[in-house]
Structure 1
Amino acid sequence: MKTLKIQPENVYLLRVFEKDRLSLNIGGNMKIGVLTLGYKTKIPIVVHSGLSKRWDKLFKPELPGIFVGFEVRF
């Protein structure tokens, strides 16, 4: 039986498009690439949700993972 593994990751994001409280972001780190939709809250935190995939499996026919995270803005 295959179980889900949750692994914390630090990723760098580039905001591609922003309108009101929503933003479209791309980014990653040395291990994974991510595509997220961000929602800016009233406090200085942005909640991100989207897709992630390992760079070494980017062009292989397997489904991407789900990415959920947050960004603290100063």
Structure 2
Amino acid sequence: MPIRITLDEVLAARGLKAKQVAATIGVSETHLSLFRSGKVRGVRFGTLAKLCAALGCQPGDLVAYDYDESDLAADEDDAG
């Protein structure tokens, strides 16, 4: 998938452990681990806001996009 979760890099840069952040924002370690691994299909804006507040970052600091031309093709999941 061309969308990558960069939360681990943000945690490392701040010297924080995922366990600490999970407790701070009120989510389970399992939930945060699934997000970190990219095994979720979405994240609630409220959870994203809590992550940003706890880490002092912007949403774009937590995700990255690697260009893939096939992303421009019609996708059944994106149909309206």
Normalising by structure 1, we get a TM-score of 0.23
Structure number with bigger Rg: 2
Q: Which has the higher contact order (CA 8 A, sep 6+)?
A: 2
Specify which structure has the higher proportion of strand.
1
Normalising by structure 2, we get a TM-score of 0.22
